[in-house]
């Protein structure tokens, strides 16, 4: 099994990253804080004002380490890319498929809806009784409707608009009861419905942050198998948007991001003090809060699960790569469809 390489997240303002021999060295105020050999590093994500030496950029490009710069509010700024970018035959196949992507989109939406439903069912099983009757009934009703969407998808629902519509409908249903899954005793930790840019409550703040991390991993996964991260199937192309990374992320979000957010909040690893409200009502994680999320994220990625199509155990962090690989094998004609990742 391919090794799960480390991601180095640099959140300290003013940190300086440089190359020293075959290692990346991170310094803060002149003191060495981390040293990682290149061969153990998969990517580097720098948040906000972090210095990166040109020699290190070169080494990252040469070693296939993706280096990404995000701004203070976690928006994508830049990425360093090496000389080998993509497999031209695969990309041609990807572009051709993007003209008629119905069945790939069907798989992506199936995976997403199935996993959303599994997250809700798991909650009912574990906490359904403690919730009281009304929330439990609401969640069950949503599970029922998600099951019907899945049946429609399996029965051959066609047309991109319909498929995208099914995805949207499922997302709306899912988030309509998502607040019931938040069981933090902190009264400030509430979910007021999905909001982005800016997130308007702490739950959305964690979700948005995790989605950023997951997008980055999916983008790297797409690139590492030679796919063009900008050309998607479910997401429409738009300049600057990593549509394929967003596609790959859809089926993983409920499990890798949503569940992690819930467990951090419900176990009070994240509390009200880990959030700050900005002018205009946007809610953001504090630096401390982010560090908690990043640590948990790294741990979660090391957890192993049975991959249903691979039929082997694989660390969760490797799933984006495996899915990108199966997508590329489908595009090259080796597989008759893209196998969704079903979480069980």
Q: Which residues bind other proteins (CB under 8 A)?
A: 1-2, 84, 87, 89-90, 107, 110, 114, 117-118, 121, 125, 147, 150-151, 153-154, 226, 308-311, 325-326, 329-330, 332-340, 342
* Feature table: binding site for Mn(2+): 167, 235, 250
**Shortest Å distance, C-beta 308 to other proteins:** 7
C-alpha span between 87 and 84 (Å, rounded): 9
- Cβ neighbours, 10 Å, residue 90: 18
* Feature table: binding site: 167, 235, 250
Which CB, 93 or 138, lies closer to other proteins? Answer: 93
**Shortest Å distance, C-beta 237 to other proteins:** 24
Which CB, 34 or 157, lies closer to other proteins? Answer: 157
**Shortest Å distance, C-beta 113 to other proteins:** 10
**Shortest Å distance, C-beta 328 to other proteins:** 9
**Shortest Å distance, C-beta 71 to other proteins:** 34
Measuring CA to CA, which residue among 142, 146, 150 is closest to residue 107?
150
Using CA of residue 194, residue 210, residue 255, residue 161, what is the dihedral sign? Answer: positive
Which CB, 128 or 202, lies closer to other proteins? Answer: 128
Q: In what order do the strands lie in the sheet with 51-52?
A: 31-37, 23-28, 16-20, 51-52
Which CB, 114 or 213, lies closer to other proteins? Answer: 114
Which CB, 69 or 234, lies closer to other proteins? Answer: 234
**Shortest Å distance, C-beta 225 to other proteins:** 8
Which CB, 103 or 276, lies closer to other proteins? Answer: 103
Contact 78, 38 (CB under 8 A): no
Measuring CA to CA, which residue among 122, 105, 118 is closest to residue 156?
105
């Amino acid at each position: 099994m391919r090794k799960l390489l480390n991601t180095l997240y640099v959140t300290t303002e003013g940190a300086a990253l440089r190359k020293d021999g075959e290692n990346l060295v991170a310094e803060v105020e002149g003191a060495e804080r981390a040293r990682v050999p290149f061969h153990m590093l998969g990517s580097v994500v720098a948040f906000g004002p972090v210095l990166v030496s040109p020699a290190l950029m070169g080494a990252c490009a040469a070693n296939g380490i993706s280096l990404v710069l995000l701004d203070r509010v976690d928006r994508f700024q830049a990425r360093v890319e090496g000389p080998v970018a993509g497999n031209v035959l695969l990309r041609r196949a990807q572009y051709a498929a993007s003209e008629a992507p119905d069945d790939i989109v069907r798989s992506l939406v199936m995976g997403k809806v199935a996993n959303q439903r599994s997250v809700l069912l798991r909650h009912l099983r574990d906490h359904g009784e403690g919730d009281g009757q009304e929330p439990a009934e609401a969640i069950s009703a949503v599970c029922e409707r998600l099951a019907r969407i899945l049946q429609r998808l399996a029965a051959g629902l066609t047309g991109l608009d319909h498929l995208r519509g099914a995805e949207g409908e499922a997302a709306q249903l899912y988030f309509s009861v998502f607040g019931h899954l938040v069981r933090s005793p902190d009264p400030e930790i509430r979910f007021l419905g999905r909001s982005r840019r800016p997130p308007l409550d702490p739950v959305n703040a964690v979700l948005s942050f995790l989605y950023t991390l997951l997008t980055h991993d999916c983008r790297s996964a797409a690139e590492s198998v030679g796919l063009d991260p900008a050309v998607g199937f479910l997401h429409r192309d738009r300049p600057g948007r990593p549509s394929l990374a967003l596609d790959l992320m859809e089926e993983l979000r409920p499990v890798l991001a949503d569940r992690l957010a819930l467990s951090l909040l419900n176990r009070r690893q994240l509390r009200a003090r880990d959030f700050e409200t900005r002018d205009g009502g946007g809610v953001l994680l504090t630096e401390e809060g982010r560090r908690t999320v990043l640590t948990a994220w790294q741990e979660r990625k090391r957890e192993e699960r049975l991959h249903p199509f691979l039929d082997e155990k694989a660390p969760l962090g490797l799933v984006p790569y495996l899915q990108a690989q199966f997508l590329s094998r489908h595009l090259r004609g080796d597989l008759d469809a893209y196998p969704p990742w079903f979480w069980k």
